[in-house]
Structure 1
Amino acid sequence: MLAVPGELPSDRERYGLEVKWDGIRALMHLDDALKVTGRHGADYTRKYPEISGFAIKNAVIDGEVVALDPHGKPSFVRLQHRMHLTDPEPLIVDRYPVTYVPFDLLYLDRMSLCDLPYQDRRALLDELDIGAPPYFPGDSDLLSATHEQGLEGVVAKRLDSPYRPGVRSPSWVKVKNLSTTEVVIGGWKPGKGRRAAGIGSLIMGVFTSRGLTYVGHVGTGFTDEVLNLLYAILRPLEIPRSPFHNPVPWRNRWVRPDLVGEVAYTMWTDEQRLRHPVWRGLRPDKLPSEVRR
């Protein structure tokens, strides 16, 4: 079940508020053997070996895989070091460990709980005592608290809402302190100076009724390590012509629009361009076809 972006609801007493975790959504299947899967069914079990099963069986839990910084805050930058590794080396696991944050309970004792109200599912999840962070009353100051602590925001969930797999429901509303959006990578502009041999900036697009539409380029927010990784990933995807339906300035290197990234930005311009975008990372858990304005 997915949330819609928006503001805090006016009838906040009908909602519970959760911290919005800056990570990768994942389901934990607890049976005789543990299995962790992504939004589209990809098997994450070997990707995140430090996620161990809890002392329960016959349950399916919804939650988020996060990487915490030294101050205990979710760091999407740190998570990038793990997202593309199928079978990470122990040294990488030790250097960039991840944590699983449970926040919903979908099955228990082989029975579906999806039709139960959110507050009832959360009560059952809390009874399992597996470290699920609490949710707060809808009229609490959680959004302000997350802003003060530099966290991404909150998710407001109707207390009476059932769980609808695969549905982006207005019963769940994500309220962010920072404007972010997913973009499709359609190419890259060669760098200058110390970046001359590689990527200077990425060419971004979103899908509209006319096809992949250019919305700007992003050249900040990268480390040298990230740029080298992106170069290795994008080179095999190169194509001779632009994948965008609208004109793109400069001479660029084009790639198949197979990869999704996330950027922070200040606003959309009148020309439908992202203003002051800053790269946050690849989103292998998102499909390009999902990326729309």
Structure 2
Amino acid sequence: MDGVPAPVPPMLAVEGPLPVGSGWAYETKWDGFRCCMRVGPDGRTKLTSRLGNEITGVYPDLHGVLADATGGLPAVFDGELVVLAPNGRPDFQLMQSRHQRGPTAELLRTAPVTYIVFDLLRLGAEVLLTAPYTRRRDLLADLPVSNSHVAVPRHFTADDIDPNELLSIVEEQGLEGLVAKRLESRYHPGQRSRDWLKRPLIKTQEVVVGGWRPGKGNRDNRVGALLLGGHDQDGHLMYIGDVGTGFTERALDEMLNLLIPLTRADSPFHNEVPPDRRRGARWVTPTLVGQVVYRQFTSDGRLRHTAWRGLRHDVLPDQVTTPR
């Protein structure tokens, strides 16, 4: 045994209107990959993804970053891995590239990772899962965090600022949104709870890739568009649209290499794909999960004005549902 505590599956927020009142705290919603960081008494550090995968080796720049802060006590943290662009905002594409390509010398130099810590789940012998949010945040704020790869952003209450004014400030800064957390709530491992309500400023949707259409012109013999799906309430994979913009040149090449081995003869979607969308389509086994931004989800179940953001290695296909 190395003394490093066991990981805790992440608590997840429910999307909804921003609650207003004295019983809530408000935090920035960060655009990255969820991560449980565990620190042993000797400072040894282990990282676990949202799906419970061991990812310590992918981020050597985060080894030991909270060792001094914990003072020899074992600890478990919840937070988000982000890569900050020169303007100080999280860059999801850079983060996705770091996660997918691994810790090359170039990426360690050009895309260093910051761990945004927003919860403390264990400190020493005390497991804090049943402690209220206020106590967990107070303990976290008292830790002497000084490493440049770690940030503990401030949280706000309605006594500090009007939540809607805070949302406007976050929007002006180009950030993703807010998460409201009930002050007296406990931590619910592995559960989506209304004790945490997220209010995103941009509409994003996790999607399952069920097929692709070849491109034309400078995309000849490459991906022109991906055919996207999500699961309905009965668990059926439904076609919900496609996406053909937002790809980097590297992403187009990598996507084609991932799609070709997944080729299958028939559509994986439960519903019918419109003729103009399935013409020339190459169907694939629906194992790849990605994320798109979009402007509207129509009444007939279609995403409109989509753009690709990247693959989501931290989400399983059967966890992807259609927008509600």
1:76 partner letter: F
Residue 210 of structure 1, CA deviation: 5.7
Q: Give the counterpart of 1:78 among 90, 94, 115.
A: 94
Residue 234 of structure 1, CA deviation: 1.7
State the partner residue of 2:252: 227
Query: In 2, distance between residues paired with 1:234 and 1:240?
Result: 13
Task: Note the alpha carbon deviations across 1:190-225, whole angstroms, 9 max, x for none.
Answer: 010010111001110001126110001100111111
Stretches of 4+ aligned residues off by more than 4 angstroms: none
Residue 111 of structure 1, CA deviation: 2.1
Aligned-residue CA RMSD (Å): 1.2
Residue 253 of structure 1, CA deviation: 1.1
Query: In 1, distance between residues paired with 2:63 and 2:168?
Result: 33
2:25 paired with 1:16: yes
* Secondary structure at the counterpart of residue 227 of structure 1: helix
Task: Note the alpha carbon deviations across 1:154-193, whole angstroms, 9 max, x for none.
Answer: 1000000100101100000110111111111111110100
Task: Note the alpha carbon deviations across 1:98-140, whole angstroms, 9 max, x for none.
Answer: 1111100001103210101101100000111324111011434
Q: Give the counterpart of 1:61 among 63, 77, 88.
A: 77
Q: Extract unaligned runs of 5+ from structure 1.
A: none
User: Please, what TM-score do these two structures have when normalized by structure 2?
Assistant: 0.87
Contact persistence 1:24–1:66 (CA under 8 A): yes
Residue 52 of structure 1, CA deviation: 2.9
Contact persistence 1:2–1:168 (CA under 8 A): yes
Q: Give the counterpart of 1:259 among 277, 281, 288.
A: 288
Larger displacement relative to structure 2 (278-287 or 59-68): 278-287
Q: Give the counterpart of 2:47 among 36, 58, 61.
A: 36
Query: In 1, distance between residues paired with 2:280 and 2:126?
Result: 57
Residue 80 of structure 1, CA deviation: 1.8
State the partner residue of 2:4: none
* Secondary structure at the counterpart of residue 17 of structure 1: strand
- Alignment: residue pair count: 291
Q: Which has the higher strand share?
A: 1
2:181 partner letter: K
Q: Extract unaligned runs of 5+ from structure 2.
A: 1-10, 146-150
State the partner residue of 1:114: 129
Contact persistence 1:210–1:245 (CA under 8 A): no
State the partner residue of 1:137: 157
Query: In 1, distance between residues paired with 2:235 and 2:95?
Result: 34
Query: In 1, distance between residues paired with 2:254 and 2:144?
Result: 39
What is the percent sequence identity of the aligned residues? 47
1:241 partner letter: D
2:259 paired with 1:244: no
Query: In 2, distance between residues paired with 1:73 and 1:129?
Result: 24
User: Please, what TM-score do these two structures have when normalized by structure 1?
Assistant: 0.96
State the partner residue of 2:13: 3
